[in-house]
Amino acid sequence: MRVYKIDDYVLKYRIGHPFETEAVIRDGEEIEKNTMDYFKISQATKLRLIYKMNTDDIVLGLGENQRGINKRGGIYESYCTDDPNHTPDKKSLYGAHNFLIVDGAETFGVFIDYPGRVTFDVGFTHKDYLEIIVDDNNLDIYIINGNNLKEIVKSFLKLVGQCYVPPKWAFGYQQCRWSYEDAAEVENIADSFIKNDIPCDAIYLDIDYMEDFKDFTISHERFPNFKAFVEKMKKKGFRLIPIIDAGVKIEKGYDVYEEGVANDFFCVDQDGKPFVGAVWPGRVHFPDFLNPEARKWFGLKYKTLLDCGIEGFWNDMNEPAIFYTDRGLNKAIKKAKKSEDENLNIYSFFELKDTFIKISNNLEDYKSFYHKVKGELVNHDKVHNLYGYNMTRAAAEGFEEIKPNKRVLIFSRSSYIGMHRYSGIWTGDNHSWWDHILLNIKMMPSLNMCGFLYSGADTGGFNGDANAELVTRWTQFSIFTPLFRNHSAMGTRNQEPFAFDEESKEIMKRAIELRYAIIPYIYSEYMKAVINWEVYFAPLVFEYDDEMSRKTEDQLLVGDSIMISPIYQENVTGRYVWVPEDMLLWKVKKYSDREYEIVKKGHRYLNVEIKEIPVFIRKNKMLILGKHAKNVESIDNRQLDIIAFIEDKTSYIYYDDDGKTYDFKKGKYSEIAIEIEKADGEFKINIDNRGNEKVQRLNFDICPFAKALIRAIFLKEKEKLYEKEKQWNFNAYYIFT
């Protein structure tokens, strides 16, 4: 074991000769050290790290996974898996996010940088033991120290690099469905948004847009004159987002296939021939994304679509999903034939059934193909979790070459830490189940801790039929997730906001309008999180150290100013909420209506009618909002509203930038710093505009104000001031001249 000091907080323990995953972007100096902090380590065929947990320790992180924000009690396996049934017993979903934090008697983070299978037994086998098991003796382990959860996450995010930033329009509402068949249907969906006056920024093209499910092709029959169609839709206000799958169809004359074979860009089997698996188009080859040349080749293929005016993509089936291989299929068919005349009993029937079920995403298949890395063959199983990461990296690197310094929307289904620098993720094929709203709520902060800020679930649920109430409540949560996309599977009930009754449509419309109104806040908080190495979604324990906040699993902090308590149960009109300090509650039915109440610290039962979205503004914090429009680019935010809840003093930095380029990395962005202080019967307001040329006026709603406090004083020259007493909040405005 060699030990490297990355900085005062982070140590890297290198065991054997690990595969370079490129998850981490920092190096360190080798130091003298023979033991690992916190963990007992045992190295037999597998490597085991063992930590004895304290009764009160909580364990956070692990990104895309089942169960709670606190991962205790569960066993999780990092092995990216295409499994659409996210039942609570599942150990692996689509991503592999090997970072967790133990918080309690000792507080530290650990990142297992190993691209094959890793098991995290977080008090499952024995309630007091955290055991991490790796199938190999070649890996890097990072231990991250810090005084609190926020510091540890910050150190970790600095270690793995700055998170991806999508174009600003990608913070708008997005509509997807597998089975929008042709241009006419896509346009019809767009027209329904227009007719119903519901904001929307993007409509997705699922596999139906391709010719025989071949990547980088367009069905001319279903989408004649694609480029003109993309243009037409953009004029209407919608961007089209096509899907790209990992498998390349084997078909003579298909350029991607031909070029891949000619240049040895596909993964190979044990005989050195391109490996064959089957996905949507039938038999395919899988590009070897671990080979930089193959990555470059595939990345530049996106140009075909970018040249048609496309500005965003979703990368799918990149675990990679394998429906079957000839090996597995033949084995199953043989077995079935043999069973033909048998009287199948409990054992033989289930064995036969299992053989078929296990044809897909079979471990033997993953073990039977290879990548070429620096001239050497590497078995796929050992680097399995890097596949989706590198497919998506290929895309991002391609975009940078084709459209330098232009933000392109990209998110992936499969992922590994490190991919967050290139792309966002969505959490794959969930169900239209109430439990999956809750799972979505719990997963968001865990993903954020692992670096994936641009993320979201299929709102309304992908598989199964949704009813109006479920889609409504889910939409009311998703208005806070950076990626806000409604998606459903072919054959299920339609679930667009207008697919149900009039009343539900109106309620969802109001929720989506609220989303657009708070984009100034969402975008500002997202960007500050990216720049300052912070999370956008946090569990309460990140800010509050009381016992309840450590245990709360169904409320989240969104950015620095607000807390949310979504409804995730059917037929309820309220829920219990833990209010960790006095907060200002704004129950939003329509965002132009402003009625607030102060909710005292403690356990509260909150009535939440189907029309209502509770937003809690934290003490001494501000929420900033503008107006909705049909899409993000049409928003007119020359006036912004500020809702402030002040005990004594508060400050907020409102961030903005061009929303289109990466110039913010060179410091090209604007800030408006707002400070409000309550003193001597007055609110003293200080506004410092650092380069924002869009905002002309700020309107203030300041709560609470007592009779004695009747004036707002702006500390800068040139201000105009208006003051009005309205029940118990105070209005004032400030005009930039």
Footprint on this chain of ligand GLC (rule: CB under 6 A): 178, 206-207, 243, 316, 413, 428-429, 487
> What torsion, rounded to 10 degrees, do the Cα atoms 614, 615, 620, 623 define?
-150
Give the pairing type, strands 202-205 and 173-175: parallel
Smallest distance from ligand GLC to CB 428, Å: 5
Question: Which of 223/542 has CB closer to ligand GLC?
Answer: 223
> What torsion, rounded to 10 degrees, do the Cα atoms 554, 557, 561, 566 define?
-30
Smallest distance from ligand GLC to CB 315, Å: 10
**Distance from C-alpha of 12 to C-alpha of 26, rounded to nearest angstrom:** 10
Question: Which of 222/575 has CB closer to ligand GLC?
Answer: 222
Strand-pair partners of 139:
15
Question: Which of 241/563 has CB closer to ligand GLC?
Answer: 241
Question: Which of 443/557 has CB closer to ligand GLC?
Answer: 443
Question: Which of 155/360 has CB closer to ligand GLC?
Answer: 360
Question: Which of 49/207 has CB closer to ligand GLC?
Answer: 207
DSSP state of 287: B
Smallest distance from ligand GLC to CB 243, Å: 6
**Distance from C-alpha of 133 to C-alpha of 495, rounded to nearest angstrom:** 42
Contact by Cβ (8 Å): 368, 275: yes
- Tokens read off for 733: 């405005």
Question: Which of 215/560 has CB closer to ligand GLC?
Answer: 215
**Placement of tokens 């019967």 in the chain:** 681
Give DSSP secondary structure letters for 166-192.
--GGGGSEEE--TT--SHHHHHHHHHH
**Distance from C-alpha of 170 to C-alpha of 148, rounded to nearest angstrom:** 32
Smallest distance from ligand GLC to CB 256, Å: 18
- Strand ranges in 580-690 using DSSP code E only, listed in sequence order: 583-588, 596-599, 602-607, 613-617, 621-625, 639-645, 649-656, 670-679, 682-690
Question: Which of 122/425 has CB closer to ligand GLC?
Answer: 425
**Distance from C-alpha of 417 to C-alpha of 115, rounded to nearest angstrom:** 10
Smallest distance from ligand GLC to CB 489, Å: 6
Smallest distance from ligand GLC to CB 427, Å: 10
| Nearest one of 698, 700, 701, 699 to 736, comparing CA atoms | 698
Taking the CA atoms of the chain, what radius of gyration do you get in angstroms? 26
Question: Which of 155/318 has CB closer to ligand GLC?
Answer: 318
Cβ-based neighbour number of residue 407 at 10 Å: 22
**Distance from C-alpha of 62 to C-alpha of 663, rounded to nearest angstrom:** 32
Question: Which of 487/621 has CB closer to ligand GLC?
Answer: 487
Question: Which of 205/567 has CB closer to ligand GLC?
Answer: 205
Smallest distance from ligand GLC to CB 359, Å: 17
Smallest distance from ligand GLC to CB 419, Å: 16
Smallest distance from ligand GLC to CB 447, Å: 17
Smallest distance from ligand GLC to CB 413, Å: 6
Question: Which of 413/509 has CB closer to ligand GLC?
Answer: 413
Contact by Cβ (8 Å): 317, 387: no
Smallest distance from ligand GLC to CB 458, Å: 7
Smallest distance from ligand GLC to CB 471, Å: 17
Question: Which of 136/206 has CB closer to ligand GLC?
Answer: 206
592: helix, strand or coil: coil
**Distance from C-alpha of 216 to C-alpha of 208, rounded to nearest angstrom:** 12
Distances, alpha carbon 555 to alpha carbons 99, 444, 446, 566, 573, in Å = 22, 11, 13, 7, 16
Which residue's CB atom is positioned nearest to ligand GLC? 178
Smallest distance from ligand GLC to CB 189, Å: 15
Counting other chains too, the contacts that 105-108 makes at CB distance below 8 Å and 24 or more residues apart are 105/54, 105/56, 105/57, 106/38, 106/54, 106/57, 107/146, 107/147, 107/148, 107/149, 107/152, 108/37, 108/38, 108/143, 108/144, 108/145, 108/146, 108/152
Contact by Cβ (8 Å): 40, 49: yes
Burial of residue 130 (number of CB atoms within 10 Å: 0-12, 13-18, 19+)? buried
- Contacting residues for 678 by C-beta, under 8 A, at least 6 apart: 646, 647, 648, 649, 684, 709
